[in-house]
Chains A and B, each alone.
Chain A
Amino acid sequence: MATATASQRTDDRSAAGRAPATVPRRALGRFARRLPARLLTALLLVVVIYPLVWLFLGSLKSQADYLNGSAFSLPAHWMWGNYKAAWVTGDLGIYIRNSVTAVLPALALVIVLGSAAGFALQLMRWRLSRPTMLLFLAGIMVPTQMILLPLFTIYYQAGLTGTLWPLIITYTATGLPLTVFMLATYFRAVPHEVIEAAAIDGAGIFRIFFSVAFPMVRNAILTVALVQFFFMWNDLLIALTFTNSNSLRTVQVGLLNFTGEFGSIQYGPLFAAICITVFGTLILFLALNQKVMKGLAGGAVKG
């Protein structure tokens, strides 16, 4: 309804200008009027996209081509083999497997535990629900550095240092505050009557949560999961602290140490590795961009 009236108004406003639009002078005038906006848009797109194009071209150059050619030139030979070198010799395959192994279980845990907690805190009012919420909120502010040292000691003494468990546990815990908070605000939109009706029909608390409330916020949960995925996948600090061998490195830690694997810097494979990580996230983003944008922006406003 609102959009209908808005577009109608634009129509009214531009009706006078649209009818004689066939007259070339008018069209030219409108083109000139829009020119600054178009130029600015083009400039912005160049600034955002050119570095990535350059990165992609670099990933296809041979070492000699990169070192001797111009920075703006196309590759002399299109070296697709750089991608294989990055994946195999550069161990990127291992790093990606590690990242997936650490991030997916943590993500699943964060969503299940976080939505249960968000549900309970928002829809089942009890005496301590507000203080508990504030407790979770405080976690958003605490820098990760403040918990690294005790965790390192615990993991070391529990003998977990040679595994990916420290990452899974730490990602789950650090992801919870924002997840609980964001989901609690989404659960606020679930009408109380629905929950009460289910309770009257004899559904238990778990039943209400899993069969009534959870499906109602499914979209919101996907949004929050995406946000958390990007946080965990792009994390460097936690992964750097708790991975002590090459076979445990995640993508980010692996990229940081990428040069070491070849003995000297091999620019083609390095660029190829960066490209794989960049375009991987890019594809995910393009597929689901509305959700990602809404989620990330929403998390910021509420946080």
Chain B
Amino acid sequence: MLVGPALLIYTAVMLVPVFWSAGYSLTSGNAITGYHFTGLANIRHLASDPNVRTALWFTLRYAVVLTIGQVLLGYLLALFYVFALRRASAVIRTLIFFPVVLPTVAVALMFGRLFAIAPVEGPVNSFLNLIGYHSVDWFSSPSHAFWIIITMDIWRSMGFYAVLLYAGLIDIPETMMEAARIDGATGFRLVRHIVIPLSFPVLLSAIIFSINGTLKVFDSILALTNGGPGNATTPLTLYMFNTSFSYGEYGYGAAIALLLTVMCLIVTVTLYRWSRADQQQAA
């Protein structure tokens, strides 16, 4: 059978570990010291751990803000490509797309230096000085750090979402647009009543893709702020990683991973249901 090998590896390395990991969440210990069964202690700990609350709140805030930011900006860019640049947009599309393929760690290190204040001021602070403001220590305040992470991720992904949504926009039949124009719809009204409804399916898949990705954010935050200051920008993924590998608490780490997975599952299924219902309504 041609499916056999793929299915075997997939089952052994992904499916089985998922349940195995769920089993770990009922224990304490790690790979070196061995595991002891502790029942639901980890799950109870999850509910009362203030770090989990911080991480959960950060993850949700990050997912919602970044999804709105990158999909909205990507959509505006796509509209810009279609209506302002038209056929000349291919080169611009390519140039604005490319940050998404760059290694996240490299981009995060670069942004760290762009916003640096010590030992030397980066371009952003230098620019602030130039126009008469004081330098800002961007990474020492939780809200500044949060917005820099958002800025970096939007910088990375806006071109990607623009291309994704552009594909949806050029699929809108020209005759439809023409008819609307003849009926007197222009500019904002054209977008509001014709373009948005007709590109809604692709907009929705962009949102689903974005939320699914942002809930699992790890690389960019680890490399940019390492969760700091304190644990203010620590998402669940990073908290799970630190708990497991810095403190050697695999059992509790597995419980956090379980929480993360359940969260992804609920969000994905909800969005999927919602989009299905919506499409059926439209059809």
Query: Which A residues lie at the B interface, using CB under 8 A?
Result: 6, 9, 36-37, 40-41, 44-45, 47-49, 51, 54-55, 58, 66-68, 70-72, 113-114, 116-117, 119-121, 124, 132, 135-136, 139, 141-154, 156-157, 169-170, 172-174, 176-177, 180, 205-206, 209, 230, 233-237, 240-241, 251-252, 255-256, 267, 270-271, 274, 277-278, 281-282, 284-286, 289, 292-293, 296-297, 300-301, 303
**Residue B237 at the A interface, CB < 8 A?**
yes
**Residue B227 at the A interface, CB < 8 A?**
no
Number of residues in B with C-beta < 8 Å to the partner? 86
For A154, give the chain B residue with the smallest CB separation: B17
Cα distance A148–B238 in the bound complex, in angstroms = 13
A48 touches B254 (CB 8 A): no
Instruction: From A41, A149, A150, give the contact of B92 (CB < 8 A).
Output: A41
**Interface residue ranges of B93-112 to A (CB < 8 Å):** 93-107, 109-111
B258 touches A176 (CB 8 A): no
Instruction: From B6, B218, B244, give the contact of A114 (CB < 8 A).
Output: B6
A274 touches B205 (CB 8 A): no
Residue among A143, A267, A282 with most chain B CB within 10 A: A143
User: What per-residue 1/0 map shows which CB atoms of B11-25 lie under 8 Å from chain A?
Assistant: 011111110110010
B257 touches A146 (CB 8 A): yes
For B92, give the chain A residue with the smallest CB separation: A41
Query: Which B residues lie at the A interface, using CB under 8 A?
Result: 1-3, 5-7, 9-10, 12-18, 20-21, 24, 31-32, 77, 80, 84-85, 92-107, 109-111, 113-114, 119-123, 125-126, 155, 159-160, 163-164, 167, 174, 202, 205-206, 209, 212, 215-216, 218-219, 222-223, 237, 240-241, 244-245, 250, 253-254, 256-258, 260-261, 264-265, 268
A143 touches B96 (CB 8 A): no
For B3, the chain A residues whose CB sits under 8 A away are 116-117, 120-121, 132
A274 touches B120 (CB 8 A): no
27 contacts between A and B (CB under 8 A): A41-B85, A41-B92, A44-B92, A54-B123, A67-B120, A117-B3, A120-B2, A146-B18, A149-B24, A150-B17, A150-B24, A169-B9, A173-B10, A176-B9, A176-B14, A236-B223, A237-B241, A241-B241, A251-B103, A281-B101, A285-B98, A285-B101, A296-B101, A297-B167, A300-B206, A301-B202, A301-B209
Instruction: From A37, A45, A121, A237, give the contact of B84 (CB < 8 A).
Output: A37
For A229, give the chain B residue with the smallest CB separation: B101
Supplied contacts A146-B17, A252-B105, A297-B160, 19 more A-B pairs, CB within 8 Å: A71-B120, A117-B3, A139-B10, A143-B260, A145-B241, A145-B257, A146-B257, A147-B13, A147-B21, A176-B6, A176-B10, A206-B2, A234-B101, A236-B218, A255-B223, A256-B222, A256-B223, A281-B103, A303-B212
B105 touches A256 (CB 8 A): yes
Instruction: From A70, A236, A270, A271, give the contact of B222 (CB < 8 A).
Output: A236
B49 to chain A, nearest CB (A): 16
For A235, give the chain B residue with the smallest CB separation: B219
B29 to chain A, nearest CB (A): 11
Residue among B95, B109, B264 with most chain A CB within 10 A: B109
- Top 6 A-B residue pairs of the complex, sorted by shortest distance between their CB atoms: A173-B13, A117-B6, A150-B17, A120-B2, A147-B17, A150-B20
B219 touches A143 (CB 8 A): no
A274 touches B160 (CB 8 A): no
Instruction: Evaluate whether A174 and B14 lie within 8 angstroms (CB atoms) in the complex, with A51-B114, A297-B164 already known.
Output: yes
B13 touches A255 (CB 8 A): no
A150 touches B21 (CB 8 A): yes
A170 touches B13 (CB 8 A): yes
Cα distance A14–B225 in the bound complex, in angstroms = 53
A274 touches B106 (CB 8 A): yes
Residue among A37, A148, A237, A281 with most chain B CB within 10 A: A148
For A50, give the chain B residue with the smallest CB separation: B123
Cα distance A236–B268 in the bound complex, in angstroms = 24
For A156, the chain B residues whose CB sits under 8 A away are 31-32
B205 touches A141 (CB 8 A): no
For B85, give the chain A residue with the smallest CB separation: A37
Cα distance A176–B241 in the bound complex, in angstroms = 23
For B261, the chain A residues whose CB sits under 8 A away are 142-143, 145-146
B163 touches A293 (CB 8 A): yes
For B215, the chain A residues whose CB sits under 8 A away are 143
For A112, give the chain B residue with the smallest CB separation: B5
A85 to chain B, nearest CB (A): 16
For B245, the chain A residues whose CB sits under 8 A away are 241
For B94, the chain A residues whose CB sits under 8 A away are 286, 289, 293
